[in-house]
């Protein structure tokens, strides 16, 4: 496999295609493990939206930071996290990114600037603003990216964070992944005005981009990141995208009808993977697919082999200073 | 040196800022130093570290968390105790949970300072709460200093602590002044202070109520020997010190400015009943269940613990003589 881009190398169309495939394959693998009961609690699959994570993270430098969402596997992988350790986290194993303490909705790798997926809609926005402020205070050249969905556009704290970032010209990129639905609620019935209009109202340059095209997302993100890093203040991307699966794996059992099969099929026709593959020389996509399949097979093995945590340590890491809380039995 | 409580907080912030460049302060009207503790900080440390925030409590609290996750050591001043309700999500659901959820990758060295907690006489329903029990319940380190020396020492330790800490400076304690002849220094969290030794009854008094307890102890000295026990930190609570005190006295009265149900007073009494030495049923003096402080001064005062109630409770636990088991069964 010499000559192929590495797992986290997003510098070329081939590398970006490989990451799209890695995220897709990872989610398919995770879906299987949810179905077999090995992953408890389910996941929020990112399938369909891969071009957003890959395009944005391709525009970032290693020192840049991200905050993510409940639908975070794609962001975490595209920022460079080890798929083996992410999968182990989903399985609640000690070899997981968070030692099995976070699971799907809290996966983090601080060594890579991944400040965590987050279970509360919109919560990552102002945390990213704080990370950007912190970097400026420390005199470091780092941009912070906040990923969030269209649902978060109605969270007051996110709108407050737009104001703080704009007032203080902080190096933040707000990335709205508009997949059309806040769980089951269509964005068209929930968001007055427009996403970009909301950012623009705070004086934040806001761009709408085809979120099914990793190259288009990368180009828009690169421009915003460069401007932010140069002191130009925050940027905002609205990436129009779609999740091919349900909001959460539980939805597979519930047979909800809030999207028509035609609508889902139309968006599947815009699948970001074939579009990215079309940019590659003949045969390369297949070789990259094989490389990803191999990597994911190894990840699966690693994750399933990783140890389950011992119950005695259930409250390990609750306090950074090692304070031990009283047990529920009073002991 | 004559030291006021507010000046002690100001000294603690000044010394912490001077010692550690990672320390910074966020809050409303802190540039002008409106509440007192931040007076002159802006002039000395500049707007890069003393950040006057717009009225966006949720966003600037999240932002401070983002800053704390990336190497800063922020202090937030909240002008009104009830603002803590507004940022309960940020403090309890984010700041407190990051360390465990990330498997120890991250910690949040954030200090929340509430100068003027509890009733300020005439500020009515939405400015008079004293929600320290909520934070102790959630497991956040919670500090309620009663004196200027303790306010200085505990705030210094809170800022140096690797975990989030909420520091309540009760409005009722702000007028307290001390003649300080000793060197001010950090006081470890989780260590109680016996203000007055006694042999008959332990009065556990929280915050400003320490001064009421001392007055009642003095007044009752001819008839009963009262030990005045100031936990100083409500979480983690110094159970070892309380156990030692009850070994001496065997009788317990708690005076606590929380609403009665699920207040810290209930926890202290319950733990004493389960695990510590008691020779008489304990008593607690609290606000009533579900109290909302009414505006009219007499009504505001009527719902807060007072010296008459404390005096009665001390006398009541003294009247109790341990009954024989036969009499108990007869009831």
How far apart, in Å, are the Cα atoms of B230 and each of A54, B83, B143, B149, B197? 56, 26, 11, 13, 11
Q: In order of start, what are the domains of chain A with their CATH numbers?
A: 13-313 (3.40.50.970)
CATH number at residue B134: 3.40.50.970
Residues B47 and B150 in one domain: yes
Residues B101 and B220 in one domain: no
CA-to-CA distance for A149 and A159, rounded, in angstroms? 13
- Phi/psi for A321 (5° steps) reads -90, 10
Q: Which of B157, B179, B201 is the C-terminal boundary of a domain? A: B179
Show pLDDT as tens, one digit a residue, over chain A (331 residues): 457 887 778 999 999 999 999 999 999 999 999 999 999 999 999 999 999 999 999 999 999 999 999 999 999 999 999 999 999 999 999 999 999 999 999 999 999 999 999 999 999 999 999 999 999 999 999 999 999 999 999 999 999 999 999 999 999 999 999 999 999 999 999 999 999 999 999 999 999 999 999 999 999 999 999 999 999 999 999 999 999 998 999 888 888 889 999 999 999 999 999 999 999 999 999 999 999 999 999 999 999 999 999 999 999 999 999 999 999 987 6
Residues B25 and B161 in one domain: yes
Q: Is residue B326 part of a domain?
A: no
Residues B29 and B167 in one domain: yes
Residue B331 has pLDDT above 50, yes or no: no
Q: Is residue B184 part of a domain?
A: no
Q: Is residue B202 part of a domain?
A: yes
**Which residues, including other chains, have CB under 8 Å from residue A298's CB and lie 6 or more apart?**
A84
* Across B220-229, average pLDDT: 98
**Which candidate, A175, A185, A179, places its Cα nearest to that of A212?**
A179
Q: Is residue B310 part of a domain?
A: yes
Contacts of B66 in chain A (CB under 8 A): 67, 115, 126-134, 144
Domain with B75 in it? 2-179
**Which residues, including other chains, have CB under 8 Å from residue A76's CB and lie 6 or more apart?**
A68, A86, A97, A107, A108, A109, A114, A117
Q: Is residue B185 part of a domain?
A: no
Which of the 8 DSSP states describes residue B288?
P
Residues B257 and B123 in one domain: no
Element of type H or E holding A259: none
The answer to whether A268 and A244 have CB atoms below 8 angstroms apart is yes
β-pair type (B141-143, B233-235): antiparallel
- Reported ipTM: the value is 0.94
Active site residue B127: yes
Tell me the three state secondary structure of residue B150. Answer: helix
Residues B256 and B155 in one domain: no
Residues B227 and B301 in one domain: yes
- Phi/psi for A193 (5° steps) reads 65, -140
pLDDT at B307: 98
The string of pLDDT tens digits covering residues B260-294 is: 999 999 999 999 999 999 999 999 999 999 999 99
Q: Shortest CB distance from B59 goes to which of A100, A110, A126?
A: A126
Residues B206 and B77 in one domain: no
Q: What is the maximum span of chain B, computed from C-alpha positions, in angstroms?
A: 72
Residues B168 and B256 in one domain: no
Segment 301-330 of chain B within 8 Å of chain A by CB: none
Residues B156 and B227 in one domain: no
Residues B212 and B298 in one domain: yes
Residues B137 and B258 in one domain: no
CA-to-CA distance for A59 and B201, rounded, in angstroms? 67
Q: Is residue B186 part of a domain?
A: no
Q: Shortest CB distance from A134 goes to which of B56, B66, B275?
A: B66
CA-to-CA distance for B151 and B141, rounded, in angstroms? 15
- Number of domain units in chain B: 2
Sheet holding B283-287, edge to edge: B193-196, B226-230, B201-205, B252-259, B283-287
**Which candidate, B58, B45, B134, B133, places its Cα nearest to that of B90?**
B58
Partner-chain contact B107 A137, CB within 8 Å: no
pLDDT at A8: 75
Q: Is residue B324 part of a domain?
A: no
Question: Nearest CA of chain A to the CA of B130: how many Å?
Answer: 24
CA-to-CA distance for A102 and B303, rounded, in angstroms? 43
**Which residues, including other chains, have CB under 8 Å from residue B7's CB and lie 6 or more apart?**
B36, B148
Partner-chain contact B62 A96, CB within 8 Å: no
Contacts of A130 in chain B (CB under 8 A): 62-70
Banded pLDDT at B326 (limits 50, 70, 90): very low
Partner-chain contact B102 A120, CB within 8 Å: no
Partner-chain contact A120 B94, CB within 8 Å: yes
Chain B residue closest in CA terms to A144: B66
**Which residues, including other chains, have CB under 8 Å from residue A283's CB and lie 6 or more apart?**
none
Partner-chain contact B63 A161, CB within 8 Å: yes
The answer to whether A82 and A90 have CB atoms below 8 angstroms apart is no
Beta-carbon contacts below 8 Å between A and B: 154
Tell me the three state secondary structure of residue A147. Answer: strand
Q: Which of B152, B179, B206 is the C-terminal boundary of a domain? A: B179
**Which residues, including other chains, have CB under 8 Å from residue A300's CB and lie 6 or more apart?**
A29, A87
β-pair type (A185-186, A206-210): unpaired
Q: Which of B148, B179, B210 is the C-terminal boundary of a domain? A: B179
pLDDT at A331: 60
Q: Is residue B28 part of a domain?
A: yes
pLDDT at B54: 96
- Burial status of residue A311 (CB atoms within 10 A of its CB: 0-12, 13-18, 19 or more): exposed
- Cβ–Cβ contacts within 10 Å for residue A102, how many? 25
* Across B215-231, average pLDDT: 98
Partner-chain contact A109 B104, CB within 8 Å: no
* Interchain CB contact of B229 with A (< 8 Å): no
Is the omega angle on the peptide bond into residue B236 within 30 degrees of 0, that is, cis?
A: yes
Bridge partners of residue A208, in order along the sequence: A238
């Amino acid at each position: 496999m010499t000559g192929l881009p590495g797992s986290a190398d997003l510098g070329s169309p081939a590398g970006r295609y490989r990451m799209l495939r890695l995220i897709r394959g990872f989610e398919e693998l995770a879906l299987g493990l949810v179905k077999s009961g090995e992953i408890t609690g389910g996941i929020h699959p990112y399938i369909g939206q891969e071009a957003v994570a890959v395009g944005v993270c391709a525009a970032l430098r290693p020192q840049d930071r991200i905050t993510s969402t409940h639908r975070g596997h794609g962001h975490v992988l595209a920022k460079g996290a080890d798929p083996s350790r992410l999968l182990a986290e989903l399985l609640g194993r000690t070899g997981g990114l968070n030692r099995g303490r976070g699971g799907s909705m809290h996966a983090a790798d601080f060594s890579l600037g991944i400040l965590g997926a987050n279970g509360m809609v919109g919560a990552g926005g102002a945390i990213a603003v704080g990370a950007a402020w912190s970097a400026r205070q420390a005199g470091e050249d780092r941009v912070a990216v906040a990923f969030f969905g269209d649902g978060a556009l109605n969270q007051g704290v996110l709108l407050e964070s737009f104001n703080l970032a704009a007032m203080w010209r902080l190096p933040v990129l707000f990335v709205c992944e508009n997949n059309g639905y806040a769980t089951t609620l269509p964005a068209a019935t929930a968001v007055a005005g427009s996403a970009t209009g909301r950012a623009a109202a705070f004086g934040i340059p806001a761009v709408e981009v085809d979120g099914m095209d990793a190259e288009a997302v990368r180009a828009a993100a690169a421009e915003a990141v460069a401007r932010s890093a140069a002191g130009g203040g925050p940027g905002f991307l609205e990436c129009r995208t779609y999740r091919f699966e349900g909001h959460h794996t539980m939805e597979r059992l519930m047979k909800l009808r809030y999207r028509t099969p035609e609508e889902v099929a139309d968006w599947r026709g815009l699948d970001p993977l074939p579009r990215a593959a079309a940019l590659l020389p003949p045969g390369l996509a297949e070789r990259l697919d094989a490389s990803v399949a191999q990597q994911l097979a190894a990840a699966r093995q690693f994750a399933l082999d990783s140890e389950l945590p011992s119950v005695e340590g259930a409250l390990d890491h609750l306090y950074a200073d090692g304070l031990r809380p009283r047990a529920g039995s009073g002991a | 040196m004559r030291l006021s409580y507010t000046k002690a907080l100001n000294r603690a912030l000044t010394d912490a800022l001077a010692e550690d460049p990672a320390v910074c302060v966020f809050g409303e009207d802190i540039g002008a130093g409106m509440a007192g503790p931040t007076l002159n900080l802006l002039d000395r440390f500049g707007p890069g570290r003393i950040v006057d925030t717009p009225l966006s409590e949720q966003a600037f609290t999240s932002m401070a968390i983002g800053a704390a996750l990336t190497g800063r050591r922020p202090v937030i001043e909240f002008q009104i105790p009830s603002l803590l309700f507004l940022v309960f999500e940020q403090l309890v659901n984010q700041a407190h949970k990051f360390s465990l959820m990330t498997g120890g990758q991250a910690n949040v060295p954030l200090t929340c300072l509430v100068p003027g907690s509890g009733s300020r006489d005439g500020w009515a329903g939405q400015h008079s709460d004293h929600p320290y029990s909520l934070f102790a319940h959630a497991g956040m380190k919670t500090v309620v200093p009663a004196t200027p020396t303790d306010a200085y020492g505990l705030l210094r330790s809170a800022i140096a602590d690797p975990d989030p800490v909420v520091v309540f400076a009760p409005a009722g304690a702000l007028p307290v002044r001390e003649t300080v002849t000793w060197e001010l220094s950090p006081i470890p969290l989780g260590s109680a202070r016996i203000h007055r030794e006694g042999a008959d009854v332990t009065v556990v008094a929280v915050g400003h109520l320490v001064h009421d307890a001392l007055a009642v102890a003095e007044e009752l000295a001819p008839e009963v020997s009262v030990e005045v026990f100031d936990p100083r930190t409500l979480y983690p609570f110094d159970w070892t010190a309380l156990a030692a005190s009850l070994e001496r006295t065997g009788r317990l009265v708690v005076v606590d400015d929380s609403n009665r149900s699920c207040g810290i007073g209930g926890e202290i009494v319950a733990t004493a009943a389960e695990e510590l030495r008691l020779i008489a049923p304990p008593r607690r003096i609290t606000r009533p269940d579900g109290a909302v402080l009414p505006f009219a001064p007499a009504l505001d005062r009527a719902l807060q613990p007072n010296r008459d109630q404390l005096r009665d409770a001390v006398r009541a636990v003294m009247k109790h003589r341990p009954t024989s088991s036969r009499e108990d069964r007869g009831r």
